[in-house]
Amino acid sequence: MKKISVLIVFSLLFCFCKSKKGGKFDEKLIHRIATENSSLPSQYDMYFFYVQCEKEQISEINVKQLQYMYNDSNTVDESFEDFLKRALHQKQNFINVNDIIDCFYIDKEVMIYYQKVNFSNFIEKYFERDNKSYRLKREFNKKRRSIFYYCFLNNYLGVFDGYGGFYYIMKTSDIY
């Protein structure tokens, strides 16, 4: 009986997690990335993007990896912009082949908190305000990828400041 109760709770959490994946990723930013000069480094390469992997896992990637995955996909009829839409809207599961991407499971504590509060409260718990961006509180660095994934779903991108040693998020609309 106890096992059934635990199974029901995890099933409900899974359903809530899937149902809150909500909105689409910023179409304007997708277009900007897709139309950049591919022979030059991307101006968005420092930001963390997220795609779905198999087995309910997520991968944190950058623009260069997205370009490589697109070129490796052998999709002749699909533009890079369409590929980005599919990948960044979480519409395709990617397989970790040749260590191109590193798939991970979402931290359960972060997932549960995200499901039970609104996004403003989520931000308030994990971040400190810093001008137009938010700085991740150091005590949450080990859970950063999971926290940043949920921020990504809400059109925020993460970045690491190597000089100060902090992780930040900012709205995608503040980047372009």
Phi, psi of 95 (to 5 degrees): -105, 140
Please state the domain count of the chain. 2
The answer to the question of residue 154 being in a domain is yes
Task: Give me the pLDDT at residue 98, please.
Answer: 59
Task: Give me the pLDDT at residue 76, please.
Answer: 73
Q: Which two tokens stand for residue 155?
A: 């059109």
**Of 88, 103, 118, which residue is a domain's last?**
103
85 and 116, same structural domain?
Answer: no
The answer to the question of residue 17 being in a domain is no
Task: Give me the pLDDT at residue 63, please.
Answer: 96
Over range 9-29, report the average pLDDT. 58
The answer to the question of residue 164 being in a domain is yes
Q: How is residue 107 annotated by DSSP? A: P
Is 97 buried (19+), middle (13-18) or exposed (0-12) by CB count in 10 A? exposed
d(CA 51, CA 91): 9
Over range 64-81, report the average pLDDT. 87
d(CA 166, CA 152): 18
Residues of the domain holding 134: 107-174
CB 16 within 8 A of CB 22: no
**Of 59, 75, 103, which residue is a domain's last?**
103
d(CA 30, CA 165): 28
| pLDDT digits 0-9 by tens, 90-131 | 999 988 765 778 899 999 999 999 999 999 999 999 999 998
The answer to the question of residue 15 being in a domain is no
d(CA 4, CA 23): 33
The answer to the question of residue 18 being in a domain is no
Judged by average pLDDT, the poorest of 52-56, 151-155, 169-173 is 52-56
**Of 76, 103, 130, which residue is a domain's last?**
103
Q: pTM of the entire structure?
A: 0.84
127 and 99, same structural domain?
Answer: no
